[in-house]
A and B are shown apart, each in its own frame.
Chain A
Amino acid sequence: MYKYDHYDQAMVDARVEEFRDQARRRLEGKLTEDQFKPLRLQNGLYLQLHAYMLRVAIPYGTLSSMQMHALADIADKYDRGYGHFTTRQNIQYNWIKLEDAADILADLAKVEMHAIQTSGNCIRNISSDQYAGAAADEVVDPRPYAELLRQWSTFHPEFAYLPRKFKIAVIASEKDRAAMRLHDIGINIVKNDAGELGASFYVGGGMGRTPMIAPLIRDFVPLNQMVTYAEACLRVYNRHGRRDNKYKARIKILVHEMGAEEYARQVEEEFAHLLDQGVEPPFAELERIRSFFQPPEFGTGLTEKADRSDPDFALWIDRNCSPHKAPGYVSAAISLKPVGGIPGDATAAQMHLMAELAKGYSFDECRVTHAQNIILPHVEIGRLHELWTKLDEAGLGTANLDNIGDIIACPGLDYCSLANARSIPVSQKISERFASNGKGELLGELKLKISGCINACGHHHAGHIGILGVDRKGTENYQLLLGGSEAEDVSLAKITGPGFNEDGIVDAIETVADLYLERREDGERFLDTYRRLGMDPFKEALYG
């Protein structure tokens, strides 16, 4: 894992003290809320529905056990004993006091964490593949490149006030586990025919009120020019992005309206100009960063088969474990989606346990996924049963990764001041319905995603089944969408028709699931069946 050097630590410490002074001045009345708001937002502090909310950055979702312990301690000491892992691999605390906020940032700084640029119209936390450094199918660990981009984008003076917020994801495999093409910039690190590594740049994707899939802007940027190319992409956006209309200010609108070809042309022009300007960090810096991401010392001669005699354990292996590049290892997913639970929430005790398990079973490392789960990236197959037993005893052994119980849900109207409808109760009802009727496991891979408003933090556009909560004359109403995917087969879901009330949407989900079970052909996932059949039979089943 990356370790702060003197400069990193000094910058973060200075920022804590700067914010401490800003918060003090606000509490003393020397700053108005209008003056203070942009300052607190630059430090991840929102004023939400019930209290202040603090969003803490988890760069590319990677945490050490010490950091996870620190997050648990913050939940206990300053919040109400829990935290919420988000769809951008961050964590949010819902009950923060302004008078405590600087102390929390100081506690975070002690474990090399912060909340800088987790809000505002700047480059946000860089997200990545949760299996980075472990995945059998990656061409290289993408995290050193994500870290390089994190350092480039942190406090970048030219990009501190962009037209709108800006999100970057970096992956390095054909399989997309980070919704890469639904980011403002998606970078896929690839290997060319000569065996050289380069970055494919996809620009102008996003969800929100105008969902778009990022087009390929350049298929191969040499890695020693990646930062310069990113700078060029941002410069063209900063120059032409609309600042007159918040709803048209994201880069996806610019790329769409300008046309991907013209946008790419302007980026190339800017790139050519920048190549002589010394934007790219020296190669030695990339090498320094890379040295922190060396693979752990994996054991050899390890068993590659687990004892599957316990059916519950066997199911958990099948559902929650992923292939690893090192023989005898897998990556194990800890589902934060127990039946009827709140997606992404973890208590302080659970966080402490996950930290201990990361230390004991996964070389001191864990990951947060965009699907709001936790990964132990490097687990010996021979120790899986022991691990699963401990997880199961703590209510963390649910075997439901990527099935209908593994629902992505935004905080919705239960917590969020932007939301129009509650997301969590709907997710709980669906999870309970499909656990009790036994269909959850039968359905296989089925990604269901719920947002409580058009901003789409719950990624409803990218769900095999998506649900969008809306306000219909003062009452909650839920639109149903089908056919989305955030993966390498990326697509945007389409609305089925009129919406449903809270109970009606749960019935509607069961209706479309039943149709899939009835009409699926061998090996088809829900998404495959939908794509083969089209919307009509689903509409017919729903509305007659």
Chain B
Amino acid sequence: MKILTGNDLKTGAVVWWDGSGWSIHITEAADAGEEAEAILATEEAARRVNSAYAIDAEQTENGPRPAHIKDRVRALGPTVRPDLAVPAVKKVGWDWVI
């Protein structure tokens, strides 16, 4: 599956396309499929997201899991600061990153 990620323009927070808007929860990421590039162009132009890009992911029972470790770290926060993790970590757990 293809999912979309970027950063919130104002706060810089990592966000994921959930089908109608941008969520900080990777677990809510939607499959953008072949619409990925079109969605990215529209959302960037409307300043609803910054520096967005499409990535490969696999669907799991806990939601999408990005193919690359870099995006998995982005999804939860620094692995060395669990106190700063986004709430999604409670659903997927830190083992999900590695």
Neighbouring B residues of A29 by C-beta, 8 Å: 47
In the assembled complex, the Cα of A475 lies from the Cα of B68 at a distance in Å of: 9
Count of interface residues, chain A, beta-carbon cutoff 8 Å: 30
Q: Is the interface of A mostly helix, strand, loop or mixed?
A: mixed
Contact between B51 and A33, CB atoms less than 8 A apart: yes
Q: Is the interface of B mostly helix, strand, loop or mixed?
A: loop
Q: Does B41 contact A (CB under 8 A)?
A: no
Q: Does A122 contact B (CB under 8 A)?
A: no
Neighbouring B residues of A475 by C-beta, 8 Å: 69
Contact between A413 and B12, CB atoms less than 8 A apart: no
Q: Does B60 contact A (CB under 8 A)?
A: no
In the assembled complex, the Cα of A209 lies from the Cα of B15 at a distance in Å of: 32
Contact between B74 and A98, CB atoms less than 8 A apart: no
Q: Does A80 contact B (CB under 8 A)?
A: yes
Residues of chain A in range 36-88 having any CB-CB distance to chain B below 8 Å: 47, 49-52, 80
Q: Does A96 contact B (CB under 8 A)?
A: yes
In the assembled complex, the Cα of A52 lies from the Cα of B9 at a distance in Å of: 10
Question: What mask results when residues 4 to 23 of chain B are scored 1 for a CB within 8 Å of chain A, else 0?
Answer: 00010111111000000000
Contact between B50 and A33, CB atoms less than 8 A apart: yes
Question: What mask results when residues 88 to 115 of chain A are scored 1 for a CB within 8 Å of chain B, else 0?
Answer: 0000001111110000000000000000
Q: Does A394 contact B (CB under 8 A)?
A: no
Neighbouring B residues of A415 by C-beta, 8 Å: 78
Given known A-B contacts A50-B74, A424-B80, A476 and B11 have beta carbons under 8 A apart: no
Contact between B77 and A422, CB atoms less than 8 A apart: no
Chain B interface extent, by class? 20 to 34
In the assembled complex, the Cα of A94 lies from the Cα of B11 at a distance in Å of: 12
**Closest beta carbon of chain A to B69's beta carbon, Å:** 7
Contact between A49 and B51, CB atoms less than 8 A apart: no
Which residue in chain A gives the minimum CB-CB distance to B47?
A29
Contact between A51 and B68, CB atoms less than 8 A apart: no
Contact between B11 and A414, CB atoms less than 8 A apart: no
Which residue in chain B gives the minimum CB-CB distance to A48?
B12
Contact between A414 and B12, CB atoms less than 8 A apart: no
**Closest beta carbon of chain B to A34's beta carbon, Å:** 10
- Pick the contact of A99 from B11, B47, B81 — CB < 8 Å? B11
Contact between B12 and A52, CB atoms less than 8 A apart: yes
Q: Does B42 contact A (CB under 8 A)?
A: no
Contact between A47 and B70, CB atoms less than 8 A apart: no
- Pick the contact of A422 from B13, B67, B79 — CB < 8 Å? B79
Neighbouring A residues of B70 by C-beta, 8 Å: 49, 413, 417, 419
**Closest beta carbon of chain A to B68's beta carbon, Å:** 6
In the assembled complex, the Cα of A422 lies from the Cα of B80 at a distance in Å of: 9
Q: Does A448 contact B (CB under 8 A)?
A: no
**Closest beta carbon of chain A to B44's beta carbon, Å:** 8
Complex A-B: 11 CB contacts under 8 Å: A33-B44, A50-B12, A50-B13, A52-B12, A97-B10, A98-B9, A99-B11, A413-B69, A417-B70, A422-B79, A425-B79
